Structure 1
Amino acid sequence: MHQPSYFSGFDLLSSDIEKLLMPDAKPQFCKAKPNGDAVVICVHGFTGNPYDVSPAISTLSNMGLSVVAPLLPGHGYRERHKQEQAFSNITPEGMLSAARQEIARAREHYSKVGMFGFSMGGAISLTMASEGLIDACAVAAPALRLSRKAEILIPLLSWASFSIEAPPQEPFYLPVYEFYHSKALRTLWQLSGYARRRLSHIQCPVFAVHSHKDLMVPPIVLGMMQENIPFEIETAWFDESGHSMLLDVSGPRVSSAIASFFQRQFLH
């Protein structure tokens, strides 16, 4: 099986690759001035791209931290047929390997590495924390569980390869695909379960934000984190927003809370 490439935020895209990607899907790197010794890696969600986490990128950068946002494997392609093909080939190990590679790249230049993840990116970030690879971890709507319907249907149907129409429902601009792929959904479900089982291994500081209005990731995940992570974590609720909380009405406050967490960890 061909594993789709991930695109590091530390590398410039070639013109050929850039033509294949959605305009908002480009990896990002904002270097602090003056140079600091800390960086935060921002990891986007399932079917998303760095635009998912762009408000956090801006706020962290304005606070004086370096920020990098990779494009995860199998994401971000402009044309639907290319995106469907890429989605059908992503794997849990490929997604986690991409995160590990981005952390290794960050360690070449920074002594302190934090990670912020949204949704699936939150599950990936918590897994990286459980492996002891990062110094601080923040997550928004971390996909440690999915909706009840999804958790029943994904394992039953993902033996086949097919796409499901899923037009965006958000009342704001959200550059995501208007379909899900059965194989990609299985990867999301597997990443969710693996991150859940690894929570007790986490040792670094953790901050988690969520909304009780989220219809994609149930609010119980924050209690699950507190129950299984072996120390008290920081949490905050932003119930004016739905799942894509950084882009919703609470977005500025969500981004500010995330940036303040990393400021306390790395700049004080």
Structure 2
Amino acid sequence: MTFSSSGHGPMARVGVALSHGFTGSPVSIQGWAEYLAAQGFAVSLPLLSGHGTSWQELARTPWIRWYQDFERAYLELTERCDVVFTAGLSMGGALALRVAEHHGVAGVAVVNPGLTFSDKRARYSRFLKYVLKSVPAIGDDIKLAGVSEGAYQRTPVAAVQQLAGLFKDTVAGLDRVKAPTIVFRSAVDRVVPESSMEVLAHGIGSTDFEVVRLENSYHVATMDNDAALIFERSAAFFREHSGGQ
């Protein structure tokens, strides 16, 4: 379920590490990865630990392993590329930002990045996990009919506690993100609240920060009506900040 490309042509020395979201899999951003690969970029899209198996497995996975999986993909690209960007959807956006806090990324491109919760019960997940093992899925928030990201049908409460830990850690270090950052934000998102955008805009250390509004997509915008816009604008962003045309 992973995807990688060594790139071709003048963009082969430009890498992009992409991350999928919480309870999802590379399926949700496969189209994005394939588009960038077709444009010549070197691309790495890993399957994060606890994902692509079962929600019970995810419940046993600490957030640091999600981060380590994605960081490894980034570092592997740095070994063969001149510059490397991080990118991600939802929780993958948080991971992309956290890598940028700790490494000299060339830029960050995120889609509906998660940094806060819309469900107030999340703050009590460390207690709820003992009495409530899982809750209904958060997947498939897609406006385009007949499209599915194939996410888990249940969300493990123990993993929500881990997600909260990732969010807290990432938010605390946002001021260290100095790289150019582009954010694609859906007008309607029933998964990630607007408070995530507010936290990001106020906390990020980058002076090159752009928000692109997506008027015809829900949360999983990389599989929705505005997918082509995301693909094209992000590729242009990567070219611009890598010195390419």
Q: Is the 8 A contact 2:6 2:42 kept in 1?
A: yes
The whole-number CA distance in structure 2 between the counterparts of 1:188 and 1:201 is: 20
Structure 1 residues 125 and 179 mapped into 2: Cα distance closer, same or farther (>3 Å)?
A: same
The sequence identity of aligned pairs, in percent, is 23
Shift of 1:167: 7.4
CA displacement 1:81-126 (0-9 Å, x = unmatched)? xx13311211121122222222221122112111111000000110
The whole-number CA distance in structure 2 between the counterparts of 1:164 and 1:148 is: 11
The whole-number CA distance in structure 2 between the counterparts of 1:113 and 1:158 is: 38
Q: Where do 1:214-253 residues align within 5 Å?
A: 214-230=189-205, 231-253=207-229
1:53 to 13, 21, 29: 29
CA displacement 1:26-64 (0-9 Å, x = unmatched)? 100122223721110110001111111122112212322
Q: Is the 8 A contact 2:138 2:155 kept in 1?
A: no
Q: Where do 1:109-258 residues align within 5 Å?
A: 109-160=80-131, 162-166=133-137, 168=139, 170=142, 171=145, 172-230=147-205, 231-258=207-234
Q: Is the 8 A contact 1:139 1:208 kept in 2?
A: yes
Structure 1 residues 157 and 226 mapped into 2: Cα distance closer, same or farther (>3 Å)?
A: same
Code of the residue aligned with 1:39 in structure 2: it is G
Q: Is the 8 A contact 1:132 1:204 kept in 2?
A: no
SS of the equivalent of 2:200 reads: helix
Q: Is the 8 A contact 2:125 2:157 kept in 1?
A: yes
The whole-number CA distance in structure 2 between the counterparts of 1:174 and 1:226 is: 28
- Length-normalised TM-score, structure 2: 0.89
Q: Is the 8 A contact 2:110 2:182 kept in 1?
A: yes
Q: Is the 8 A contact 1:210 1:236 kept in 2?
A: yes
- Runs of 5+ consecutive residues of structure 1 not aligned to the other structure: 1-25, 78-82
Cα RMSD after superposing both structures: 1.9
Shift of 1:155: 4.2
Structure 1 residues 240 and 150 mapped into 2: Cα distance closer, same or farther (>3 Å)?
A: farther
The whole-number CA distance in structure 2 between the counterparts of 1:234 and 1:38 is: 21
SS of the equivalent of 2:105 reads: coil
SS of the equivalent of 2:99 reads: helix
Q: Is the 8 A contact 2:23 2:55 kept in 1?
A: no
SS of the equivalent of 1:90 reads: coil
Q: Where do 1:19-58 residues align within 5 Å?
A: 26-34=1-9, 36-58=12-34
SS of the equivalent of 1:246 reads: helix
SS of the equivalent of 2:148 reads: coil
The whole-number CA distance in structure 1 between the counterparts of 2:56 and 2:204 is: 37
Q: How many residues align?
A: 238
The whole-number CA distance in structure 1 between the counterparts of 2:130 and 2:105 is: 34
Structure 1 residues 205 and 167 mapped into 2: Cα distance closer, same or farther (>3 Å)?
A: closer
Structure 1 residues 245 and 96 mapped into 2: Cα distance closer, same or farther (>3 Å)?
A: same
Code of the residue aligned with 2:173 in structure 1: it is R
The whole-number CA distance in structure 2 between the counterparts of 1:153 and 1:164 is: 13
Structure 1 residues 159 and 196 mapped into 2: Cα distance closer, same or farther (>3 Å)?
A: farther
